[in-house]
Amino acid sequence: MEEKKETQIDFVIAWVDGGDPAWQRERDRYGKMGEKTAVEETGEREKSGVACDTRDVRYRDWDCLRFWFRSVEQNAPWVHKIYFVTWGHVPKWLNGNHPKLEIVRHEDYIPGEFLPTFNSHTIELNFHRIPGLSEQFVYFNDDMFLLRQVSPGQFFRDGKPLDMLALQPVVANREDAVMPYIYLNNAMVLARYFDKRENMKQQPGAYWHPGYPLLYFGYNLLERMFPRFTGFYTVHGPSPLLKNTYEALWQREGALLSEVCSHRFRSREDVSQYLLREWQKLEGNFYPVNACRFCRYYDLSDQNTSLLHVIEKKKSPAVCINDSQKVEAYDRVKRELNEAFLKAFPKKSSFETDGAGEKH
């Protein structure tokens, strides 16, 4: 029997093949500036007061995508649909005829005035426009994997996302020319609609949930001293989201979101999809849980012993493997990652055809 529309849960995964020559040509045509500009804040665009993140590391592919599909089929067979969001490239091994798979190109849902885009925020802030997407959905970056069996109740309960409301000051990180500004931009938007102390009074259980990690429980206690929001901590893992949250934000902040979506590359003037998660929490439209227990986060480096062990032994329900500037031995690290995933998920999924490992 077909599941009721209001209880369906879809997955959305956004993927880019940074090695695709056609994609590279289009990206370069629209003003790729290079790693030095993004990291050291140099170049003409920085002189004009705008810093963009166009580093190759933002688009580098580790060739682990087939393991994402294996992990979902094994650990979340209940998912209603998987929406695979892509600039246009699709791996040759991907079974486009799979009944649960919908391949969504940017032009299928992002308004034309924002295209082409190389900005993940533009891609993420328009998900509610994907035709057929369910009200409840979980957004995965392509570096987030399910390692153990999970249930729908670990993402949503009674139509509400499970998440963690944790306050944390925005850090003036001089090594990052973009993200600290985005975190502050998110907080500035939220502060226009929510009063911190009033919100704490209205939903104390959202701030003082006994299951929260001690660190963030402590942060929330300390934050009572400050009348204004100083920032938010959002667990970097699969994001449970509601389409009506998107619609509410676009209705209230359409001009801002349109401006963000007009940026071809990630910019310090952007807001991110974390704004949507924090909006849900401040509205009280979520169930508080210790989200840190669900997903372990790792920055890739040249030595990834702990991460590889977590993957092989499936030590966590989910894992996020963040690319970083720390990896110099790319080929070796890529091989080690794939070997670890192959041990964890040796069996092909029904999402794969015989052309595994190839792209077009």
Report domain extents, the chain. 5-344
- At residue 5, the pLDDT reads 57
d(CA 325, CA 55) in angstroms, rounded, equals 9
For tokens 């590391």, the residue is: 57
Residue 307: burial class (beta carbons within 10 Å; 0-12, 13-18, 19+)? buried
pLDDT tens sequence across 292-328: 999 999 999 999 999 999 999 999 999 999 987 788 9
Provide CATH code, domain 5-344. Answer: 3.90.550.10
Low-confidence ranges of the chain (pLDDT < 70): 1-6, 32-59, 355-360
Is 317 within 8 Å of 237 (Cβ atoms)? no
The one-letter amino acid code at 1 reads M
- At residue 39, the pLDDT reads 35
- At residue 88, the pLDDT reads 94
For 242: left if phi > 0, alpha if psi spans -120 to 50, otherwise beta; the answer is: beta
- At residue 54, the pLDDT reads 56
- At residue 359, the pLDDT reads 41
pLDDT tens sequence across 212-252: 999 999 999 999 999 999 999 999 999 999 999 999 999 99
- Helix, coil or strand: residue 259: helix
- At residue 62, the pLDDT reads 85
**Residues of 33-71 as b/e, b for ≥16 C-beta within 10 angstroms?**
beeebbbebebebbeeeebbbbbebbbbbbbbbbbbbbb
- At residue 56, the pLDDT reads 57
